[in-house]
Chains A and B, each alone.
Chain A
Amino acid sequence: NAGVIQTPRHKVTGKGQEATLWCEPISGHSAVFWYRQTIVQGLEFLTYFRNQAPIDDSGMPKERFSAQMPNQSHSTLKIQSTQPQDSAVYLCASSFPGDAEQFFGPGTRLTVL
């Protein structure tokens, strides 16, 4: 089992550019979560899907951020018009159906110049 796979591991964008982050959950896991980690804010919940359906996006900035889960094998987090304050490690996690334990990927470190 390869665990949760996140690509790319590092991404550098210029201010105003778009960034798309990919997450492949563990096979058989039906819940996918996105979190953001910064030194200042710590670990913050962004959004999550259950059986590919969006359940809670209360942590997502209303502008510029969007997430999708087009099939059970991957989810994407898209940030349009990136800003320096978007610089963070973006973590994806997945869980078995009905199980509370979340398995985290290694994260994607996004740097916006």
Chain B
Amino acid sequence: QQKVQQSPESLSVPEGGMASLNCTSSDRNFQYFWWYRQHSGEGPKALMSIFSDGDKKEGRFTAHLNKASLHVSLHIRDSQPSDSALYFCAASEATGNYKYVFGAGTRLKVIA
């Protein structure tokens, strides 16, 4: 079983709408989370990290972490066509230089 599960596999939202992505870690050793975004033909780029319980907001992006359930979500407000990409949840064992375990990704399509 994958240590990091993401849902949904794919998601379509209208331009200006809200996109909500989910991620759960099944391994308590992996409880420090990142959200990455990958456009076609490029490497993943970091959107934001979240290491503590609660919400973290960066511009149109808000992440929420529940450490008890190891569930993290990403909400994208006012979605734009340029947000169309593959979104990965990555978990690590600590906050320093450690490997990531990635989820399978959610493909987001924003329809103009």
Residues of A within 8 A of B (CB): 4, 30-31, 33, 35, 42-45, 48, 50, 56, 59, 91, 93, 95, 97-107
Contacts of A106 in B (CB 8 A): 41-43
- On whether A100 and B44 interact (CB within 8 A), knowing A43-B102, A45-B101, the answer reads no
Question: Which of A33, A91, A103, A104 makes the CB contact (< 8 A) with B99?
Answer: A33
Q: Which 8 A-B pairs have the closest CB atoms?
A: A104-B43, A31-B97, A43-B102, A45-B99, A42-B104, A100-B95, A104-B44, A98-B96
Count of A-B contacts with CB under 8 A? 59
- Chain A residues lying within 8 Å of B95, measured Cβ to Cβ, are 100
Interface positions, chain B 76-112, Cβ under 8 Å from A, are 88, 92, 94-105
Pull 19 A–B residue pairs with CB atoms less than 8 Å apart, ordered by A.
A33-B99, A42-B102, A42-B104, A43-B44, A43-B88, A44-B102, A45-B99, A48-B99, A91-B44, A97-B97, A98-B96, A98-B97, A99-B96, A100-B95, A100-B97, A100-B98, A101-B49, A103-B46, A106-B41
Chain A binding surface SS class = strand
Name the interface size band of chain B.
20 to 34
Q: Assess whether B57 is interfacial by the CB under 8 Å rule.
A: no
Q: What's the minimum C-beta distance from A45 to chain B, rounded to whole angstroms? A: 5
- CB pair A56 B34 closer than 8 Å: no
